[in-house]
Structure 1
Amino acid sequence: MKILLVILLFVNCGAFTGFLPSKVSSNSPSLTSFRTSFRTPFHTSLSSFNNPGGEEAPLEERLLACFPYLLPLADGAEFGKFIYQRLPVLGTLERATVQPLVNVFHAVPFSSLIIFIGFSFAARQPSLSRFIRFNIQQAILLDIALIFPSLFGGAANELPRYLVEPATNFVFYAFAASIVYCFFSNLALGKEPNEIPVVSSAANQQLGPF
């Protein structure tokens, strides 16, 4: 399952290729002109595309925009296992809120893959507002980002806990902070949560300005 999602990463999320080094010399006049004419106007005017006229998203769109993050929320809960052991209150909260969602995902074969493909399709539907499509695309990328540490989970079991625990906790803190930020920005502010390093830039590039 995770291998299939990694393949979909390269097929579906070409936005990440924007971070790869180019073979063209950075001193090339044409490249300099391209960067000046494309990057600067795009980034300086991006906020106007996020929320035209500075308007906040309506309530129904705020709620709908949070829904896609249930996918990375369910897939990333496992990285909090050491934190739940040290803070039983958080473990109890996780079992009461997130674990039922995880159980539903596991009960349906290939549910994560099906939802992933469905979200990828929805993110390209012009009938949806850019606010919703951005959140869908960002949720997809967050879920993809969780695949790579998951792939090394089996090998990590052979390592001593004093090495595995800090690395696992770091993944959980980064993932949890991103999810909380997205929910807060969507629900409380009605603004695109577009400040997550690398991920938000990739989501913006994938969607384009419109």
Structure 2
Amino acid sequence: MKCLASSHTAGNRLLHSAASRRMLASAANAPARRALAASIAPAVAAAAATPAGRRPLRVSARYYRSSAPSAADRVLAAAPFLLPFLDAFSYGRFLFYQFPAIARAVSPVAPLLSLYHSVPFAALICFFGIYIGVVNNMQLSRYVRFSAMQAVLLDILLVLPRLLEQLVPPPTTAGLALQAYIGAQNTIWVAVAACVVFGVGSALLGREARIPFVADAAEAQIR
């Protein structure tokens, strides 16, 4: 009996000592808990005061290409830009005359240009060939189809100055009207040539070219 009493007394002492340690630890942690609660309270109050419909929601996403375009995709993405370049070639005739160096720089394209204009309906065939065979070909990568769509839209934009030339005949006598006409022709060729060089260079480097005003329209057409 004495052994049981002594063991019971020892157990009570252990329980009291454990309880004492928990009370001391709680007392010791009380200031830290109060400080943490004080730091969190303003944020909680602000969140509670903000209406649910007005709480800011920030979502960010980044797209990473799984692999670089292959050499075949790069060439196929760059080739369609020849269409607007060949169609805009006639707009540079005054510039070629004024600057023979530019004419020599684009002279390697002359055989292709002759073949392009010698085939009946070559422009129409190439246009629908690129649009149907490349842009709407779901077996090709989006990289190729997006680049081809930009080339197609760039070629469509060249229809506007052609229609304007049919409505307003070009001036035949020297003067301000002729100078304005030559300036407009040169501007069209330089703009198209710059877009073509940018598109071809980006495609061959495996980068996605985004021509201003054209890329957004091409983005909407690509499925």
TM-score clears 0.5? yes
Query: Which residue pairs with 1:98 in the alignment?
Result: 109
Q: Supply the AA of the counterpart residue of 2:151.
A: A
Answering whether residue 221 of structure 2 is matched by residue 206 of structure 1, we say yes
For the aligned residue pairs, the C-alpha RMSD in angstroms reads: 2.2
- What displacement does 1:191 show? 1.2
Aligned length: 160
Residue 193 (structure 1) aligned with residue 209 (structure 2): yes
After TM superposition, the structure 1 = structure 2 runs for residues 47-62 of structure 1, keeping only pairs within 5 Å, are 48=63, 52-53=65-66, 55-62=67-74
* Residue equivalent to 2:120: 109
Assess if the C-alpha contact under 8 Å between 2:171 and 2:181 holds in 1: no
Distance across 2 between alignment mates of 1:178 and 1:198: 11
Give me the whole-angstrom Cα distance separating, in 1, the residues matched to 2:169 and 2:213.
26
The separation in 2 between residues aligned to 1:98 and 1:143, in whole angstroms, is: 18
Deviations 1:113-139 (A, max 9, x none): 111111111211110001111111111
Structure 2 counterparts to residues 104-143 of structure 1, below 5 A? 104-122=115-133, 123-143=135-155
Q: What is the TM-score when the length of structure 1 is the normalising length?
A: 0.69
Question: Structure with the greater relative contact order (CA < 8 A, sep ≥ 6): 1 or 2?
Answer: 1
Residue type at the aligned position of 2:208: E
2:187 to 170, 183, 189: 170
Q: How does 1:61-76 map to 2 (within 5 A)?
A: 61-76=73-88
> Residue 104 of structure 1: CA displacement?
1.0
**Per-residue deviation at 1:184?**
1.4
Q: Could you tell me whether the CA contact under 8 Å between 1:77 and 1:98 is conserved in 2?
A: no
Matches within 5 A, 1:39-54: 48=63, 52-53=65-66
Q: Which amino acid aligns with 2:127?
A: F
